[in-house]
């Protein structure tokens, strides 16, 4: 469990799950709760790296049974609230991700007016 925290990053993601591993020995991330989190800022000009909450399995990784709830996000200067996609980023992955399953996001509150649209892609 990750809880009761304030997160800040100058660029990129405050919460980033499952991007890297070895496709020869893929990993599974499961049964995790992230709750009661304050995200203080998000400013990322590159579209592929936006998402203060990023669930981006690559390298044949699987993400399942993750609950994200009670998240408060300050005004984003440049970015997205959520970027959820099975991906293969040529800079960081040698294989695409495998699966995202059962990934609810509840009670995410955005206190601003500058966020780009969130992405949920397969």
Q: What pLDDT is attached to residue 19?
A: 84
Task: Determine the 3-state secondary structure of 41 from DSSP.
Answer: coil
**Cα–Cα distance for residue pair 112/3, rounded to 1 Å:** 23
Q: What pLDDT is attached to residue 49?
A: 81
Q: pLDDT of 36-58, one tens digit each? A: 999 988 788 887 788 888 999 99
Domain ranges of the chain: 2-112
Q: Mean of the pLDDT values across residues 115-122? A: 86
Q: Mean of the pLDDT values across residues 57-84? A: 92
Kindly tell me if the per-residue pLDDT of 99 is higher than 90.
yes
Q: How many other CB atoms sit within 10 Å of the CB of residue 5?
A: 13
This prediction has a pTM of 0.87
Q: Mean of the pLDDT values across residues 74-78? A: 81
Q: Mean of the pLDDT values across residues 8-33? A: 86
- Per-residue pLDDT band for 23 (boundaries 50, 70, 90) equals confident
Spell out where the chain has E strands: 2-7, 15-17, 28-39, 53-55, 62-73, 82-85, 99-101, 105-110, 119-121
Q: What pLDDT is attached to residue 86?
A: 95
């Amino acid at each position: 469990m990750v809880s009761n925290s304030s997160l800040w990053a100058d660029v990129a993601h405050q919460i980033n799950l499952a991007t890297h591993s070895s496709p020869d020995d893929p990993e599974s991330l499961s049964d995790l709760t992230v709750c009661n989190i304050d995200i203080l800022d998000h400013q990322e000009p590159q579209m592929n790296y936006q998402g203060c909450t990023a669930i981006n399995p690559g390298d044949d990784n699987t993400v399942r049974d993750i609950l994200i709830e009670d998240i408060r996000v300050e005004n984003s200067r440049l970015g997205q609230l959520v970027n959820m996609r099975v991906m293969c980023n040529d800079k960081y992955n040698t294989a695409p991700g495998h699966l995202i399953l059962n990934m609810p996001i509840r009670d995410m509150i955005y206190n601003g007016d500058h966020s780009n649209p969130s992405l949920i892609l397969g």
